[in-house]
Amino acid sequence: MKVHIGEKIQEIYLDRGIKLSEFAERIGTVRQNIYRIFERETINSGLLHKISMTLDFDFFRFLSENIFIKTGSVTESPEIYKVMPSGINLPKELAACKGEVDSLRKQLKGKDIIIQTLVEKMDEKGEAGIR
């Protein structure tokens, strides 16, 4: 199933609730061109990047989906491409997840140190008991 990128852009645009003139200004075009964008089946990657940044949504994944479907190398459920609620701030969520991963890595490193210390103590006791 080929993704109509213009329709996806329109879907996300409507979900975000941005005024048409504001959207056009943010991506560096005029209002009339926005309607043309919604009709496009293909799009320039530079423009798609501006739109992705403005709407805080990764439209490039739809293009990748088209490639995978053509090659047949991936079978994914379309459920993963559903529109997220507009209240979610993806960069903020990503930063929070990265912070959590860093914290967990530090905790894991601390646990590794404790385990190493215990192993060394057990080795010392084992050697002392043999002598």
Sign of the dihedral through C-alpha 69, 73, 74, 75: positive
Neighbours of 92 (CB within 10 A): 10
Q: Going residue by residue through the chain, which has 131 residues, state the pLDDT in tens, using 9 for 90 and above.
A: 578 899 999 999 999 999 999 999 999 999 999 999 999 988 888 999 999 999 999 888 877 655 544 444 444 455 555 555 556 677 778 888 899 999 999 999 999 999 999 999 998 887 554 44
Query: What residue has token string 């002598």?
Result: 131
Predicted pLDDT at 69: 46
- Gap between the Cα atoms of 36 and 49, Å rounded: 17
Predicted pLDDT at 70: 47
- Gap between the Cα atoms of 84 and 91, Å rounded: 14
- Tokens found for residue 63: 């293009």
Contact criterion met (CB below 8 Å) for 48 and 60: yes
- Gap between the Cα atoms of 52 and 9, Å rounded: 9
Contact criterion met (CB below 8 Å) for 27 and 47: yes
The DSSP secondary-structure symbol of 80 reads G
Query: What residue has token string 């003139």?
Result: 21
